[in-house]
Amino acid sequence: MPRHIHLIATGGTIAGTGQAGKTSGYEAGSLPVRSLLDTLPPLPEDLQLTAEQLCSIDSNQVDSALWLRLARHINQLAQTDIDGFVITHGTDTMDETAYFLNLTVKTEKPVILTGAMRPSTAASADGPLNLYQAIHLAAKPEAAGKGILVCFCDSIYSGRDVQKVNTYKTDAFNEKDLSCLGYMRDDQCYFLNASLAVHTTASRFDVSGLKELPRVDILYFYAGAPADALDFYASRARGLVIAGTGSGNYSPQWVEKIRQLSRLCIPVIRSSRIGHGIVSRDPHFEGSDNCIPAYTLPPQKARILLSLALTVTDSYAEIEEIFRKY
């Protein structure tokens, strides 16, 4: 039986076109999925590829409505004879989509995100090789049960820890201190690590009946940042994430303001703007039970987890437990 891989195209630079040869000044998401398929070398006979165009956008237009649609779509298709999925996606928010799907997709089948840093019309466009490797990875039994994966520039990353770390180089992703899960060489995969965080079939988040995600906003702390910004966001959002300095730190004025938000039942996640390391419990900066460390999640992923956590609980203790495990 051939392995059936289904490609879901959403746009991004991999589907971008611009001035011949140039890597900048292009339009993302302008190429249809059939043109992406034309860039592939012939696939082996035991691999059957189907494809669809879900949308054609720059990934800065991705929102929670699209995430819900995508997760539900994959959950439905996963009930069919499809053996694995590839999603082409813009790189700017790929780490967020990968983490959202890691928490909400209910299948052990491989789900691989990929994209490109250079548009299809650039000299040495990186999209064709990334797509070729992602399709082969999606067909590998070794890629099953590992959560959502990102395949990019010869490396395999976990949806939990992957992050974009370079603004324009083709090797634009890593897992920060954690490196990667493994490597691709042509059509072969070599796994070295696995993420231990809860994902996919073990995740408690169910988006099947969810109309929208609770609003959670991110506030960036910097020297002298006024604490009244917290009031502004607290009046609009169900939860907040602070991108703090160092190990998730901020001023005494922010500590005091966050303590006041406890009375309004607003959970606040302490994360860091640094990008490496861990934010763990620190009573000095938390100062109240509504304030919960992000552990190793960066602000943009802590935002997703808090939003999903608020669909199942309002309990600060339970939210903290979720942050420890997911």
**Whole-number Å distance between alpha carbons of 261 and 276:** 28
Site string (17-56) toward ligand ASP, x via CB under 6 A: -----------x----------------------------
Q: Output 62 or 148, the one with its CB closest to ligand ASP.
A: 62
CB of 93 to ligand ASP, least distance (A): 6
Piece of 33-41, 57-65, 125-133, 256-264 that binds ligand ASP (CB under 6 A): 57-65
Q: Is 13 a catalytic residue?
A: yes
Return the beta strands (E) in 2-46 as ranges: 3-11
Tell me: does residue 182 bind ligand ASP (CB under 6 A): no
For the chain, report the end-to-end CA distance as a whole number of angstroms.
35
Tell me: does residue 130 bind ligand ASP (CB under 6 A): no
Tell me: does residue 115 bind ligand ASP (CB under 6 A): yes
**Whole-number Å distance between alpha carbons of 24 and 30:** 14
Tell me: does residue 91 bind ligand ASP (CB under 6 A): yes
The DSSP code sequence of 209-227 is: T-S-PPPEEEEE--TT--T
Instruction: Give the contacts of 254 (CB within 8 A, at least 6 positions apart).
Output: 221, 225, 227, 230, 242
CB of 33 to ligand ASP, least distance (A): 15
Tell me: does residue 96 bind ligand ASP (CB under 6 A): no
Tell me: does residue 12 bind ligand ASP (CB under 6 A): yes
Give the pairing type, strands 268-272 and 239-244. Answer: parallel
CB of 92 to ligand ASP, least distance (A): 3
CB of 59 to ligand ASP, least distance (A): 3
| Residue among 3, 9, 13, 234 that touches ligand ASP (CB under 6 A) | 13
**Whole-number Å distance between alpha carbons of 45 and 188:** 16
* Backbone torsion region of residue 69, taken as left when φ is above 0, otherwise alpha when ψ lies between -120 and 50, otherwise beta: alpha
Q: Output 170 or 296, the one with its CB closest to ligand ASP.
A: 170
Piece of 35-43, 90-98, 99-107, 209-217 that binds ligand ASP (CB under 6 A): 90-98
**Whole-number Å distance between alpha carbons of 91 and 218:** 20
**Whole-number Å distance between alpha carbons of 213 and 216:** 9
* Helix, strand, or coil (residue 277): coil
* Helix, strand, or coil (residue 190): strand
Number of residues that bind ligand ASP (CB under 6 A): 11
Piece of 87-95, 123-131, 247-255, 308-316 that binds ligand ASP (CB under 6 A): 87-95
Site for ligand ASP, rule CB under 6 A: 12-13, 28, 58-60, 90-92, 115, 117
**Annotated catalytic sites, by residue?**
13
